[in-house]
């Protein structure tokens, strides 16, 4: 993959940043009409690929007053020349000059343009070119009614750049929004399309690359954008799939997993199976003494340490045989319960990367998260929204990305925020968002598997520079295994054990 293509796929922009990039392109001499022609042609070809003429003849085009509407009219013209029956709806008669010129030419071809949306009801596919990026006002009145009508129809909808009604930066719904089947994002990925609240509206995402120069991207975003997508290229670079032919188990990392209780005996097993899939050289598991036989039976290759336990069957303290300084990475939390925080206080002193999950996070919320600032080694927190709220009750915001970034910086931690899309916010540098997700992972135990994956990968990375990449790789791999298993067994069939089994199959099959 070329450097330019890598940047195009990774970079994520706000509306303001996209305006600045386009402004540079136009100031450099690119005529606006020429760019509109190029973009419209690319969109038309993508629609033809999605809906070939052999199966779809009638296409409706919803046209807005701005340049997004101009793009849609170019699409209408190009599809007309390819033999499609085209019907255009312009609910707002006033338009920018360039958009108006394209409308006049489309009319000259004999294509019917009307104001009423009812004319689109007989079409097989509808193209949404109503509003582009940068919309901020709430959609009301007749246009809101029009969108409600479209959303109630069964036809697939292809939105240009963003579904009309979606906020470019936050993904918020501005009153109402088009529920797209496909969204063809133009030039660079828009931030709103990576926010969880846009998932029900954006459908399948596609990037239409219209050749933005790298120099313009770097001039606006800098050498490292504030927000990046976790692509397969980024993720695979951090997976230890290739080993030195002369390696041995002590060179492949040693991780420690701490968890489990009589109440939650399975959690630590799922974390162990996740770590096992990473190929970690050595794995030690610390559990209540009564769970040791069960864990050994399920993970016979692990070094299982039975620890003193409370009357309710939780770990009371770590075994005196354990030396925290002998591990490359430690994960704490799956199944520990909130009965005692003695182990948490002990693991916070470790000098290696520490992953805290599940009840470890709930204990941390009681233990004062600000204590993390003094840790010299990296700390990775993996909260879902409820755990995040308990950890940082005074840091709540509708702008989740900004909220998570602020907390990561102030707490000196790496935060893997487990929404529908997992985002990784380091203490410094870019936020990474995993664009791929599946509701199949909305199941108890999925997070325990991710904790094990992260611990296994972190124990194999050899320097601080590769830590963020290892975390991105683990997040991506976890989601891909969920997608792979869902494809094999439907979303209902992805239990945590199936997820673990799919981790190796996902890598082997791709």
Contact at 8 Å (CB) between 448 and 429? Answer: no
Domains of the chain: 3-221 (3.40.50.10260), 233-239+248-508 (3.40.1190.20)
Interatomic CA distance for residues 363 and 359, integer angstroms = 6
**What is the pLDDT confidence band of residue 510, given thresholds at 50, 70 and 90?**
low
Q: What is the pLDDT of residue 1?
A: 59
CA 217 from chain centre, in angstroms, equals 21
Query: What are the pLDDT digits (tens) for 261-287?
Result: 999 999 999 999 999 999 999 999 999
Contact at 8 Å (CB) between 358 and 334? Answer: yes
Interatomic CA distance for residues 497 and 491, integer angstroms = 14
Residues 6+ apart with CB under 8 A from 380: 353, 354, 355, 356, 413, 414, 415, 416, 454, 458, 471
206-212 long-range CB contacts below 8 Å, 24 or more apart? Answer: 206/46, 206/182, 207/8, 207/9, 208/39, 208/42, 208/43, 208/46, 208/184, 209/5, 209/8, 209/42, 210/35, 210/38, 210/39, 210/42, 210/186, 211/38, 212/8, 212/21, 212/25, 212/187, 212/188
Q: What is the average per-residue pLDDT within 355-364?
A: 96
Is residue 253 left, alpha or beta, with left meaning phi > 0 and alpha meaning psi from -120 to 50?
Answer: left
Query: What are the pLDDT digits (tens) for 64-117?
Result: 999 999 999 999 999 999 999 999 999 997 889 999 999 999 999 999 899 889
Token pair recorded at residue 448: 């325990």
Token pair recorded at residue 99: 């958009």
Interatomic CA distance for residues 229 and 422, integer angstroms = 11
Taking the model in full, what pTM does it have?
A: 0.93
Is residue 324 left, alpha or beta, with left meaning phi > 0 and alpha meaning psi from -120 to 50?
Answer: alpha
Q: Are strands 189-190 and 282-288 parallel, antiparallel or unpaired?
A: unpaired
Q: What is the pLDDT of residue 380?
A: 98
Picking from 508, 507, 503, the residue whose alpha carbon sits closest to that of residue 271 is: 503
Q: What is the pLDDT of residue 4?
A: 81
């Amino acid at each position: 993959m070329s450097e330019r293509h890598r940047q195009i796929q990774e970079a994520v922009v706000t509306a303001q940043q996209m305006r600045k990039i386009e402004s540079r392109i136009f100031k450099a001499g690119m005529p606006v009409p020429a760019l509109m022609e190029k973009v419209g042609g690319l969109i038309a070809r993508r629609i033809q690929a999605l809906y070939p003429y052999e199966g779809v003849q009638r296409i409706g085009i919803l046209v807005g007053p701005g340049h997004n509407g101009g793009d849609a009219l170019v699409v209408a013209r190009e599809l007309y020349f390819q033999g499609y029956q085209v019907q255009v709806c312009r609910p707002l008669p006033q338009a920018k000059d360039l958009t108006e010129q394209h409308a006049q030419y489309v009319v000259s071809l004999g294509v019917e343009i009307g104001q009423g949306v009812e004319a689109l009801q007989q079409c097989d596919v509808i193209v949404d070119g109503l509003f582009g990026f940068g919309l901020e006002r709430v959609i009301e009145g007749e246009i809101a009614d029009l969108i409600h009508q479209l959303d109630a129809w069964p036809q697939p909808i292809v939105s240009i750049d963003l579904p009309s009604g979606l906020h470019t930066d936050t993904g918020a719904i501005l009153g109402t929004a088009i529920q797209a089947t496909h969204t063809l994002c133009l030039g660079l990925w828009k931030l709103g399309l990576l926010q969880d609240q846009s998932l029900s509206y954006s459908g399948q995402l596609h990037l239409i690359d219209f050749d933005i120069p790298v120099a313009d991207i770097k001039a606006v975003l800098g050498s490292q954008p504030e927000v990046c997508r976790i692509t397969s290229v980024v993720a695979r670079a951090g997976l230890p799939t290739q080993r030195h032919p002369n390696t041995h188990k002590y060179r492949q990392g040693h991780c420690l997993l701490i968890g489990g209780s009589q109440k939650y005996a399975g959690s630590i097993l799922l974390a162990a199976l996740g770590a096992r899939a990473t190929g970690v050289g050595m794995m030690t598991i610390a559990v209540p003494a009564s769970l040791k036989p069960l864990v050994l039976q399920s993970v016979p290759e692990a070094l299982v340490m039975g620890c003193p336990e409370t009357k309710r069957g939780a770990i009371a303290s770590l075994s005196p045989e354990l030396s925290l300084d002998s591990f490359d990475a430690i994960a704490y939390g799956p199944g520990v319960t909130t009965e005692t925080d003695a182990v948490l206080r002990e693991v916070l002193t470790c000098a290696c990367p520490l992953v805290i999950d599940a009840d470890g996070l709930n204990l941390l919320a009681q233990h004062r998260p600000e204590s993390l600032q003094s840790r010299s080694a990296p700390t990775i927190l993996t909260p879902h929204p409820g755990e995040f709220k308990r950890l940082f009750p005074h840091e709540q915001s509708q702008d989740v990305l900004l909220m998570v970034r602020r907390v990561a910086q102030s707490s000196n931690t790496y935060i893997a925020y487990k929404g529908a899309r997992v985002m990784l916010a380091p203490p410094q540098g870019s936020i990474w968002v995993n664009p791929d997700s599946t509701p199949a992972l909305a199941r108890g135990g999925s997070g325990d598997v991710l904790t094990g994956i992260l611990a296994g990968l972190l124990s194999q990375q050899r320097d601080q520079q590769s830590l963020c990449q290892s975390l991105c790789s683990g997040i991506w791999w976890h989601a891909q295994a969920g997608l792979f298993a869902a494809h094999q067994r439907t979303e209902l069939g992805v239990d945590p054990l199936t997820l673990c089994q799919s981790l190796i199959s996902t890598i082997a099959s791709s």
